[in-house]
C-alpha cells in the first residue's frame, strides 16, 4: 500500500511563501511559533521548488502564507510556476494588493485567486481580522479579479462570531461573480486551538448552517459551486486527512520544510525534511514523516479492523494529537473513537459559554495564550 500510494505524484502543493500577514485572525491555523523573515526560502529556492514540482507531475500550486503578496518576488515565483506547467492559485487576504500588481501577476501566468472574507459585515470582519478598512479593499480586489477574467473563490472561515451570516456569504459570492465559495468551518488546531472558547458555535447553529448550504447548492446549481468543510467537533465520521496522509498533497513551509499536511508540525514525534537539503521527489517517496501514517499499516484499533479505514484513513492525525496526545489514535471526530464523547461534550461546553475575546497574534499575547491553552482530553500513553 505504501509503495503504491507514494508512486503517484501529489495532485496539489501548498506553498506557504511567508508567515508575514497584516491580519491577526484568531482562528489562524499557522503554527504558534511563526517562521522569521530571515529564514524564508529565497527566490531562487522557490523557483527550484516550482520546477521540481512540475517535473514530479504535480498539477496545482496554492500560493499562501501568511500573506503571499508580502513577498516582493511573488511575480518571479508565479512565473516559475507557470513555466513549470503548474496551475497557480493565489490565496490572499487582498488588503495590500494593488490593481497594477494584480495585472502583472496575471500576465506572469496566475490562474486563480482565492480571497478570504472574515465576515460580510464590515465592522465585525475588521474586528475579527484586526485590520481597519479590510472589507472594502477585499471587495475591490474581488471585482478586479473578475474584470480580468480570472476565476474567483470566496473563502468564508466560519465560527460562532460570524456563523449567523452564512446566507449573506452565499449572496456575496453570487453578487461578486465568484465561481466557487468555500464555507470552511474553523478546525481547532494551531492558533484556533487557543481560541476555541471564542470560536466554537453551538450544535444547533452548525446544523442550521449545513442545511442552509445544502439548500443553496440545489438552488444555485450551475451558478456557484459551494464547498463546505464541516466542524469536526460535531461530526460522527472523520474526514480523510488531506485525502489520506501522504497520498495526494504536500505542504512547503516558508523555511522549506516539507509537510504531509498544513498542521503536521503539531506532531512533535515527526521530523521534517527540507527542500534545501533534499529533492522534493525524494522527500515525497522516502521521507519518514510522509511514510509515518501512509496507508493503513500504522493503525491501532478500532481503525485497524474498520471497514472505512481506506476511505477516511483514521481521520486527522493532528487532531488526534491535539485531543488525545497520540497521533496514532482514531480521530475523536469518529463515533467509534473512545474519545468521541469527550470531544462532543467539550465542544458543547465551550459553545455554551459566553464568547470570549480573541487572543490576537502579537508578541504581547503569545506567552499568555500558550499558558491558557487547553490540555488534551487524555494524557500521553
Q: Is residue 287 domain-shared with residue 224, that is, in the same domain?
A: no
Residue 369, in any domain of the structure: no
Last residue of a domain, one of 200, 234, 268: 234
pLDDT on residue 179: 97
Residue 267, in any domain of the structure: yes
- For Cα atoms 337, 343, 348, give the angle at the middle one, nearest 5 degrees: 145
Q: What CA–CA distances, in Å, run from 224 to 94, 120, 218, 228, 245? A: 21, 17, 10, 13, 30
Residue 221, in any domain of the structure: yes
Q: Is residue 178 domain-shared with residue 101, that is, in the same domain?
A: yes
Distance, CA of 109 to CA of 376 (rounded, Å):
45
Q: Is residue 209 domain-shared with residue 308, that is, in the same domain?
A: no
pLDDT on residue 34: 82
Q: Is residue 221 domain-shared with residue 309, that is, in the same domain?
A: no
pLDDT on residue 7: 54
Q: Is residue 80 domain-shared with residue 197, that is, in the same domain?
A: yes
Residue 356, in any domain of the structure: no
pLDDT on residue 380: 35
Q: Is residue 219 domain-shared with residue 247, that is, in the same domain?
A: no
Paired sense of beta strands 87-92 and 225-229, if any = unpaired
Q: Is residue 200 domain-shared with residue 250, that is, in the same domain?
A: no
Q: Is residue 101 domain-shared with residue 170, that is, in the same domain?
A: yes
Whether pTM exceeds 0.85: yes
- For Cα atoms 140, 145, 150, give the angle at the middle one, nearest 5 degrees: 170
Residue 374, in any domain of the structure: no
- State phi, psi for 122 to the nearest 5 degrees: -60, -45
Q: Is residue 147 domain-shared with residue 293, that is, in the same domain?
A: no
Annotated binding-site residue? 25: yes
Annotated binding-site residue? 303: no
Last residue of a domain, one of 204, 234, 264: 234
Distance, CA of 339 to CA of 334 (rounded, Å):
9
Residue 43, in any domain of the structure: yes
When divided into structural domains, the chain yields a total of 2
pLDDT on residue 99: 98
Residue 355, in any domain of the structure: no
* Structural domain range at position 283: 241-334
CATH number for the domain harbouring residue 96: 3.20.20.70
Residue 381, in any domain of the structure: no
Q: Is residue 191 domain-shared with residue 90, that is, in the same domain?
A: yes
Give the HSE-up count for residue 23: Cα atoms under 13 Å, Cβ half-sphere: 29
Last residue of a domain, one of 234, 256, 285: 234
Q: Is residue 68 domain-shared with residue 173, that is, in the same domain?
A: yes
pLDDT tens string, the chain, 381 residues long: the values are 344 545 578 999 999 999 999 998 888 888 777 889 999 999 999 999 999 999 999 999 999 999 999 999 999 999 999 999 999 999 999 999 999 999 999 999 999 999 999 999 999 999 999 889 999 999 999 999 999 999 999 999 999 999 999 999 999 999 999 999 999 998 877 778 888 888 999 999 999 999 999 999 999 999 999 999 887 888 888 888 788 999 999 999 999 999 999 889 989 999 999 999 999 999 999 999 999 999 999 999 999 999 999 999 999 998 899 889 999 999 999 999 999 999 888 888 888 888 777 777 764 444 443 344 444 444 333
Q: Is residue 308 domain-shared with residue 228, that is, in the same domain?
A: no
Annotated binding-site residue? 21: yes
Amino acid at each position: 500500500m505504501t509503495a503504491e500510494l507514494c508512486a503517484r505524484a501529489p495532485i496539489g502543493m501548498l506553498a506557504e511563501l511567508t508567515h508575514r500577514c497584516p491580519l491577526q485572525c484568531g482562528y489562524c491555523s499557522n503554527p504558534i511559533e511563526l517562521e522569521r523573515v530571515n529564514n524564508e526560502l529565497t527566490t531562487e529556492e522557490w523557483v527550484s521548488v516550482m520546477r521540481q514540482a512540475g517535473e514530479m507531475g504535480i498539477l496545482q500550486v496554492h500560493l499562501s502564507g501568511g500573506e503571499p503578496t508580502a513577498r516582493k518576488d511573488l511575480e518571479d515565483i508565479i512565473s516559475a510556476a507557470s513555466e513549470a506547467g503548474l496551475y497557480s492559485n493565489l490565496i490572499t487576504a487582498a488588503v495590500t494588493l494593488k490593481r497594477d500588481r494584480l495585472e502583472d501577476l496575471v500576465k506572469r501566468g496566475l490562474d486563480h485567486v482565492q480571497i478570504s472574507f472574515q465576515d460580510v459585515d464590515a465592522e465585525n470582519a475588521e474586528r475579527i481580522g484586526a485590520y481597519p478598512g479590510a472589507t472594502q479593499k477585499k471587495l475591490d480586489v474581488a471585482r478586479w479579479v473578475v474584470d480580468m477574467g480570472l476565476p474567483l473563490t470566496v473563502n468564508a472561515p466560519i465560527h460562532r462570531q460570524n456563523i449567523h451570516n452564512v446566507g449573506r456569504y452565499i449572496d456575496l459570492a453570487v453578487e461578486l461573480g465568484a465561481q466557487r465559495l468555500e464555507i470552511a468551518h474553523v478546525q481547532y488546531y494551531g492558533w484556533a486551538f487557543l481560541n476555541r472558547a471564542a470560536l466554537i458555535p453551538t450544535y444547533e447553529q452548525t446544523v442550521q448552517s449545513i442545511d442552509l448550504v445544502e439548500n443553496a447548492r440545489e438552488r444555485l446549481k450551475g451558478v456557484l459551486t459551494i464547498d463546505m468543510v464541516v466542524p469536526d467537533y460535531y461530526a460522527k465520521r472523520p474526514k480523510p486527512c488531506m485525502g489520506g496522509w501522504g497520498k495526494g498533497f504536500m505542504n512547503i513551509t516558508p523555511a522549506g520544510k516539507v509537510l504531509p499536511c498544513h498542521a503536521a508540525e503539531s506532531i512533535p514525534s515527526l521530523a521534517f525534511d527540507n527542500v534545501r537539503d533534499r529533492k522534493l521527489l525524494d522527500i515525497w517517496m522516502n521521507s519518514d514523516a510522509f511514510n509515518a501514517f501512509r496507508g493503513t499499516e500504522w493503525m491501532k484499533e478500532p481503525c485497524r479492523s474498520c471497514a472505512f479505514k481506506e476511505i477516511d484513513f483514521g481521520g486527522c492525525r493532528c487532531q488526534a494529537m491535539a485531543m488525545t496526545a497520540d497521533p496514532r489514535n482514531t480521530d475523536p471526530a469518529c463515533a467509534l473513537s473512545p474519545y468521541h464523547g469527550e470531544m462532543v461534550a467539550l465542544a458543547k461546553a465551550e459553545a455554551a459559554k459566553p464568547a470570549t475575546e480573541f487572543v490576537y497574534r502579537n508578541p504581547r499575547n503569545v506567552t499568555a495564550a500558550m499558558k491558557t491553552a487547553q490540555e488534551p482530553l487524555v494524557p500521553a500513553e
